[in-house]
Amino acid sequence: MSVSRRAYRYNMLWNAALIHRLSGVGLVVFLPLHFLVLGLAIQSAGRLDGFLQLTQMPLVKLAEFILVFLLVVHLLGGARLLVLELLPWLDGQKWLAAAATGIAAIAALIFLIRVL
């Protein structure tokens, strides 16, 4: 790969697009598990209660923190893409991408603090 073709990969906006795609993949992995848990709720309250006891483990709480972070990153990344497509280009696009990541981290930390 030539230097000019690799140089764009060090651009913050390229990284924002990559994170948006990876967060989408993470959410796609999560959704079947979520539907499985909803299925447990339909089957019986006892099976759901047994599963919900597992959610008190610290590792599961960490996974929930990561999930909230991915959800907010994906939401804000999608909003950024809509702005790019529907509005004129702004000089502060890199700043907006960094702000979206910061907002996602803050939202996920607030969630983590509340569940601990």
Task: Give me the CATH number covering residue 37.
Answer: 1.20.1300.10
Burial of 96 (0-12, 13-18, 19+ CB in 10 A): middle
Task: Say how far apart CA 92 and CA 11 lie, in whole Å.
Answer: 13
Question: Angle at Cα 72 formed by Cα 70 and Cα 77, nearest 5°?
Answer: 90
Task: Quote the number of domains for the chain.
Answer: 1
Predicted TM-score of the model (pTM) = 0.62
pLDDT value at 13 more than 70: yes
Mean pLDDT of 65-71: 85
Task: Say how far apart CA 81 and CA 96 lie, in whole Å.
Answer: 11
Q: Write out the residue range of the structural domain in which residue 10 sits.
A: 3-115
Q: What percent of the chain shows pLDDT beyond 90?
A: 0
Under the banding of pLDDT at 50, 70 and 90, the label for residue 7 is low
